Amino acid sequence: MKKIMIVLIAMSIATGAVAQTKAEIMVNNGGVESLRGSAELDVTRSADKHKRVLKDREPLQRNYVHQPPIIPHQVRGYKVNLNVNKCLSCHGWKYARETGATKISPTHFETREGMTLSDVSPRRYFCQQCHVPQVDGRPLVENDFKAVDSLSQYK
């Protein structure tokens, strides 16, 4: 009787251990670490804190030629859709002088074939496809990128 009990207990411990290692294998990510840290597959990583969007700044310098300039202000609630385009209320040519905003580039009036239209080309209408605001976050990886000399004079 005693022997049977011992065997039974040993077996249950063994099966438990096997089950445990099996579970471990199933969720092991193999030590892969992303820029946002490592997380097991069965664990939901808690989200990072929201970063604050920088409030009104002077225009930020470009890092390379043809870079769409970055938005140096908050844009909460600014809608750009079929009905309205809040960005153009200041940056459109009609209002830029009055508001002191940067005018949109004439390239925004051009079609893909290079024909200049009388108003913003539909393919350039959705501003935030290219232009984005900045948050006060640190770069995820160290970066020693330097702009070319012709642009770095603005520093």
Binding positions for another protein, rule: CB under 8 A? 55-56, 73-74, 76-77, 79, 82-86, 88-89, 92, 94-95, 99-100, 120
Closest to another protein by CB, 36 vs 51, is 51
In the complex, the smallest distance separating the C-beta of residue 86 from another protein, rounded to whole angstroms, is 8
Closest to another protein by CB, 45 vs 94, is 94
Closest to another protein by CB, 136 vs 149, is 136
In the complex, the smallest distance separating the C-beta of residue 111 from another protein, rounded to whole angstroms, is 18
Distant-in-sequence, close-in-space partners of 155: CB < 8 Å, separation ≥ 6: 61
Residue 127: burial class (beta carbons within 10 Å; 0-12, 13-18, 19+): buried
Q: Report the C-alpha gap between 105 and 93 in whole angstroms.
A: 9
In the complex, the smallest distance separating the C-beta of residue 10 from another protein, rounded to whole angstroms, is 60
Closest to another protein by CB, 2 vs 97, is 97
Amino acid at 77: G
Burial 82-108 (b: 16+ CB within 10 A, else e): eeebebbebbbeeeeeeeebeebeeeb
Closest to another protein by CB, 10 vs 84, is 84
Q: Report the C-alpha gap between 114 and 13 in whole angstroms.
A: 75
In the complex, the smallest distance separating the C-beta of residue 119 from another protein, rounded to whole angstroms, is 8
In the complex, the smallest distance separating the C-beta of residue 73 from another protein, rounded to whole angstroms, is 6
